[in-house]
A and B are shown apart, each in its own frame.
Chain A
Amino acid sequence: MSYQLSKKEFYAEPLAKATGISEEFVKEAYLVFACRHKFCRDICPNFDLTRREAHTSYGFHTSILAVSRGVGQLDALLDDFTYCLECGACELRCPNTSMGGDFYRRSTTTVDMVRKVRRDLVADGGAIADWSAVKEYLDEHRGFVASQGDLVTKWAEGIKLAGDMKTALFVDFFTATQGTEVPRLAVQILARLGVKVGLYTTPGVTAPELLSEDDEEWKRYAGENMESFKALGVKTLVVTNPHDYALFVREYPKWFDMGDLEVVFVTDFILKKMKAKGVTPSVAVEGQFAYHDPCTLNKLVVEADSPRELIAMVPGAEIVDVMPGNQWKYCCGNGNGPYRKLHPEMAYRIGQKRLRAAADLGADTILVACPHCKDQFTDVKARAGLPVEPVHVLEVVAKAMGIDWTTTSPTVG
Chain B
Amino acid sequence: MAVAPVTYGAVTDEVIAELKSLLGDEYVLTDLHERAMRAANCAPFPLHRWADQTPDVVVLPGGTDDVVAILKLASERRIPVTPRGGASGLADGAMPLRKGICVDIKRMNEVFEIDEENSCVTVGTGINPLKLNEILEPLGKFFPDDLAGYANAVIGGRIGCGGWTLIGGRYGHIPDTVISMECVLPSGEVIWVGGGGTKKVRKSSSGYRLKDLFMQHQGTLCIVTRAVLEMYPKPEVEFAGYFAFDNWDDSYAALYDVTTKGFGTISSAMIFDDRKIDFLRRDDEAFIPLHKDVKFVNLFTFYGLRCEVEPAVKEAFRIMKRWGGKYLGPEQGEGDWASRHDRYHLSYHGRTPDGQATLMSWHCEDTAAVHSELPALRIKFHEIVDRYMAEYPGMFDDWGIFIYTSNPFKGWGDYLIEIDVGVAELQYNTETWDAWIRMKKEIANAAVDHDASVSICHGSCREGDDDVAMHREMSHGGFEIMKKIKRMIDPDNIMNPGKYCLDEAYDEVSR
Interface residues of A (CB under 8 A from B): 26-27, 30-31, 33-39, 41-43, 51-54, 58-59, 62-63, 65-67, 69-73, 76-77, 80, 93, 95-96, 98-100, 103-104, 106, 326
Contacts and interface: CB of A to CB of B under 8 A. Distances in A.
A100 B33 contact: no
A105 to B, nearest CB: 9
A34 B45 CA distance: 9
Contact of A96 (B126, B128, B346): B346
Contacts of A104: 348, 357
Interface in B248-302: 285-286
Nearest to B130: A42
B342 A98 contact: yes
Contact of A41 (B33, B48, B152): B152
Going nearest first, the 8 A-B pairs with the smallest beta carbon separation are A38-B152, A36-B42, A66-B36, A63-B33, A72-B33, A72-B32, A62-B37, A51-B106
Contacts of A69: 47-48, 50
B347 interface: yes
Interface in B1-40: 29, 31-34, 36-38, 40
13 contacts: A30-B426, A36-B41, A36-B88, A37-B341, A38-B149, A53-B37, A63-B36, A70-B50, A80-B33, A95-B345, A96-B346, A104-B357, A326-B134
Contacts of A65: 47
Contacts of A67: 33
Nearest to B48: A69
A70 B33 contact: no
Contact of B285 (A54, A66, A71, A100): A100
Contact of A66 (B48, B50, B357): B50
Contacts of A98: 342
Contact of A76 (B33, B41, B148): B33
B51 A99 contact: no
**How would you classify the secondary structure of chain A's contact residues: helix, strand, loop or mixed?**
helix
A39 B346 CA distance: 12
B410 to A, nearest CB: 30
Interface of B: 29, 31-34, 36-38, 40-42, 47-48, 50-51, 54, 60, 86-88, 104, 106-107, 109, 126, 128, 130-131, 134, 148-149, 151-152, 285-286, 339, 341-343, 345-349, 357, 359, 361, 425-426
Contact of A38 (B60, B88, B109, B425): B88
A251 to B, nearest CB: 24
A76 B31 CA distance: 8
Contacts of B33: 54, 63, 66-67, 71-72, 76-77, 80
A288 to B, nearest CB: 17
Contacts of B47: 65, 69
A54 B347 CA distance: 22
Contacts of A41: 86, 152
A53 B126 CA distance: 13
B88 A63 contact: no
